Structure 1
Amino acid sequence: MSVYRGTAQTSAPQHGPRPLPLFLDMVRSETAASPERLPAVLEGLRRYQEAPRGRVRRAMPARFRKRRARLRDYGGEGPPVVFVPSLINPPFVLDLTPATSLVRWIAASGFHAWLVDWGVTDPRDRDMDVAAHVERVLEPLLAKLPAPPLLIGYCLGGTMALAAASRMKVAGLATIASPWRFAGYGAAARDIAALWESARPTCDQLGVVPMEVLQTGFWRLDPARTVAKYEAFAKLEGDRAAMFVALEDWANAGEPLTYAAGAELFERFIGEDLPGRGLWRVGGVAVGPERVDCPSIDYVSLSDRIVPAATAAGLGARRDLGAGHVGMIVGGSARRQLWEPLRDWLHGVAGGREPGQSKEEHAP
């Protein structure tokens, strides 16, 4: 299996969950009541660390650049479609393998596809928050295209794409598993706030928020599942095992956030829910779903623990999915649940057919 891991800087520096000591503590805690599970979990971890990684595919060419970010050209004929990934984790989950590349599939479906690559974090950019990434990086990249693009934002990238669509002309906006109403995190927000309080002084000194801090926050949302998937991996073979390795390498990779972006995410978004309350401003301008003047749609997972359905923005249309946060992008039902409906929506918008309100639920 050939896998795109992006640049050398975004490849996982260790073949194991980051931070590994904290993962092992979590394993001990989650298996304490059933110690017979521990050998299988550790065997899964060993197999993951020792698994062959296969050939690494070269990144697609960067046609436009702004600061450290690149707009990578995936080709195709038709209206421009720009995929905006999260600042957290590398962008290559949208182009994971030849068989599981949403970007390439859209490029082969009648569109010219582009992928934002946020690049390598520079601690000297410590004061660039999420809003600054929208104003100073994302919007200038989009403005280089010959026509207003259709935007597809994934996870925090959808939050940022929505902000950009509030401030500039775009042809359409689709968000996938993207948080906007952060109050929807409920009680989990308290655990995330506690994590940030303990990590903030060190992050302040470093000028960045290391990936290990962000990964720890994800684990806290569902520690049982995090441990159980390694237990299950001990028995996986063939393509399913290779896919697990590819996904875990992606989850364990990623540049740190700038300090200001991490602080805004933890304090202003999760802590105070500025976007959901209509108080988030980008470049001095209020942004939000009500200011998006183009066809728009939310793709929302009903089983997502990283971005709960309650955090969805409430755009012009909505489609509910049964697949999880990552499964909706690369899972076995991804093409049926997300890829094909998204392609059809894009064609409808590009063809001038205004999509109506919708809500379609799919069982996992």
Structure 2
Amino acid sequence: MAEWIPAARSIDPHVHATWARLWASLSPESMGSAWLDWAAHLATSPGKRLDLLHLASEQATQLAMYLAQTWGMGPAGLRAPVEPPAQDRRFADPAWQRWPFNLLHQSFLLQQQWWEAATADVWGVEKHHRDVTAFGARQWLDLLSPGNLLWTNPVALERTLREGGANLQRGFMYFLDDLSRAWSGRPPAGAENFVVGRDVAVTPGKVVLRNRLIELIQYAPTTPSVHPEPVLIVPAWIMKYYILDLSPHNSLIRYLVSQGHTVFCISWKNPTAEDRDLGMQDYLDLGVRAALAAVNAIVPGRKVHATGYCLGGTLLAIAAAAMVRDGDERLATMTLFAAQTDFSEPGELGLFIDESEISLLEAQMAETGYLRADQMAGAFQMLRSYDLLYSRMVNEYLLGERRPMNDLMAWNADATRMPARMHSEYLRQLFLEDALSEGHFNVDGRPVSLVDVEWPTFMVGTLTDHVAPWRSVYKLHLLSPAEITFALTSGGHNAGIVSEPGHPRRSYRLRTRPANGTYLSPDEWLATTEERPGSWWPAWTDWLRAHSGTPGVAPPSLGTPEQGYPALADAPGQYVRER
């Protein structure tokens, strides 16, 4: 008699994967349970319902008085009921102040205000569910904004009348072009002007190591002498490394080289189904550890300034904790760009991370072997749906204005996949369990602790970061006794890091907490730290210089064949070009 294979094991994975595809990998059970929790507790909170009813009545009165004023029947000088938030530019054009568009946009803002009140402070609702319902309400409101439709958008209507509909014709052609590119998997329009190795990622160097997961690039010196300690950069594997080597004018790597640093940078392979079983331990062994061994061979006898960006910074912090545990003293300093080490408050990205959501992703990744780049990009777009989606659609499809592509936008469209095992471990161990900050993240089968990390540390948080909120990044102050220099820069997760000297409207704050120094809360830090104009890059290189040995060392050769690290190819290598 044939052995019985449990139906749950043989049938359910395929059903779950199909379910994931139907819902674009966003768990309807997770969203549904959040709304049910909110609705059930609101139903048993008559006082809250009365407050919301009173708010709705008050808003209706305000809107009626505003309407009467616009018709010349009410008191003069009455202000609009709601002023949009400073960062909301949807209704900034004067055309929105004319009838009937003033009523439309004020009705929308009042509705937005009501839903903010309705999803906040409902007795008994679990925090994650409260955040999910508030986020869901914002998504629906952003979708239904009067600015998104031609007949309710006065700016688009005026443009259509003035151009005789030519703007809509251009917009329709843009829509067809975008649709064609999406179906064929081609990059967005204009990205062809930013070719890797020709227009971006052009800082000269050599690939000096290649394994199944990384290429290590060593950059050619541009100064007659260099600082003794080399810099090793660990970028995030969720994106291609050349965010740090964009065009020559805004390349952080080129800037470091020009300041007399010997720079190495990891370029991660874009994984395929064959890489499905690569896990966090592999990213540590084949990534950080392999790169560090190569740097030590090429620049022998020197400690290393290790630098990590985003997930690469998290991985570097894990590696550093393991090195301290094992008595490895090869690092001189550690720098973390927009990198979280405590995931107890991960920001809005945490809205997409719970058991139901991760299980849905795992079901789909079990079939493909990886998480597709567009799946992660979709989540990031939802975090800033107006900025990244609707405003672009309005400008391009209604106004007929296509924003010129720039290097940062082209890089953002050049996304990467993630191996199934690694991504599952990352989400579960770091986001769900917060294992790193709680001291039970295992490396080589044994836990590591950030409490042991005492290397001088430079950290960068970005003020409007939706991926790694700066207050979450700041939490390393609670986990490590090291000397920590924290810089908070204007901009978001990417633009705040790509902040070259001379960039307009850039500013930052900077303060150093000495080793074992007194803790300041993030709000205290922000209130008492002076804002400085300009880029934080010079401040970082000054810090690196202060933690380096005597300058004036001759640059090392590009690679060392006798130690097993020959120059294999010109930068930027082959992995960064993989689609």
| TM-score bracket relative to the smaller structure | 0.7 to 0.9
Instruction: Give the corresponding residue for 1:209.
Output: 371
- Assess, with a 3 A threshold, how the Cα gap between structure 1 residues 224 and 115 changes in structure 2: closer, same or farther: same
Is 2:307 the counterpart of 1:152? Answer: yes
Measured in 2, the distance between the counterparts of 1:236 and 1:101 equals 32
**TM-score, reference length from structure 1:** 0.78
Mind listing any 5+ residue stretches in structure 1 that lack a counterpart? 1-18, 353-364
Aligned to 2:360: 198
Paired with 1:334 and 1:134, the residues of 2 have a C-alpha distance of 34
Which residue in 1 is equivalent to 2:12? none
**How does 1:101-250 map onto structure 2 within 5 Å?**
101-145=251-295, 146=299, 147-166=302-321, 167=323, 168=328, 169-185=330-346, 188-193=349-354, 194-227=356-389, 230=392, 234=396, 241-243=404-406, 246-250=407-411
Counterpart among 253, 257, 264 of residue 418 in structure 2: 257
Q: Which has the higher contact order (CA 8 A, sep 6+)?
A: 1
Structure 2, unmatched stretches of 5+, are 1-20, 25-137, 151-155, 157-166, 179-186, 509-533, 551-579
Letter in 2 for 1:241: P
1:34 equivalenced with 2:34 (yes/no): no
Question: Are residues 1:266 and 2:398 paired?
Answer: no
Give me the whole-angstrom Cα distance separating, in 2, the residues matched to 1:236 and 1:91: 33
Counterpart residue identity of residue 255, structure 2: W
Please give the residue correspondences for 1:39-50 in structure 2 after superposition, counting only pairs within 5 Å.
43=171, 49-50=188-189
Matched AA of 2:415: G
Which residue number corresponds to residue 193 of structure 2? 54
CA-atom RMSD in angstroms:
3.3
Report deviation, 1:198: 2.7
Corresponding residue of 1:73? 218
| Structure 1 contact 83–103 (Cα < 8 Å) conserved | no
Q: Counterpart of 2:316 in structure 1: which amino acid?
A: A
Q: Which runs of 4+ in 1 moved over 4 A?
A: 26-29, 35-48, 231-238
Equivalent residue letter for 1:70: E
Q: Does 1:329 align with 2:497?
A: yes
SS, match of residue 364 in structure 2: helix
Contact in 2 for aligned 1:307/1:325 (Cα 8 Å):
yes
The one-letter code of the counterpart of 2:212 is R
Give yes or no for contact 1:158–1:179 (8 Å, CA) kept in 2: yes
Classify the secondary structure of the residue corresponding to 1:270.
helix
Aligned residue pair count? 327
Contact preservation (8 Å) 1:70, 1:119: yes
For residues 287-328 of structure 1, give each alpha carbon's deviation from its aligned partner in whole angstroms, at most 9, with x where no partner exists: 343222421122112321111123223353122222211112
Distance 2:452 2:149 in 1: 51
Partner SS, residue 49 of structure 1: coil
Q: Given that residues 189 and 405 in structure 2 are in contact (C-alpha distance below 8 angstroms), is that contact kept between their aligned partners in structure 1?
A: no
Q: What is aligned with 1:5?
A: none
Q: Which residue of 2 aligns with 1:342?
A: 540
The code of the aligned residue for 1:34 comes to: P
In structure 1, the residue corresponding to 2:352 is in which secondary structure? helix
| Cα distance change of structure 1 residues 115 and 37 upon mapping to structure 2, 3 Å threshold | farther
Identity of aligned residues (%): 21
- Residue identity opposite 2:275 in structure 1: D
Q: Which moved more, 1:169-178 or 1:215-224?
A: 215-224
8 Å contact 1:86–1:154 — kept in the other structure?
yes
Q: Which deviates the most, 334-343 or 94-103? A: 334-343
Larger Rg: 2
* Per-residue CA distance 1:107-148 (angstroms, 9 max, x = gap): 110101111001231433322222331133321221122233
**C-alpha separation in 2, matches of 1:280 and 1:236:** 51
Matches within 5 A, 1:239-318: 241-243=404-406, 246-312=407-473, 313-314=476-477, 316-317=483-484, 318=486
Partners of 2:404 and 2:141 lie apart in 1 by 25
Of 91-100 and 209-218, deviating more is: 209-218
**1:171–1:304 Cα change, 3 Å:** same
CA contact (8 A) 2:230 2:303 kept: yes
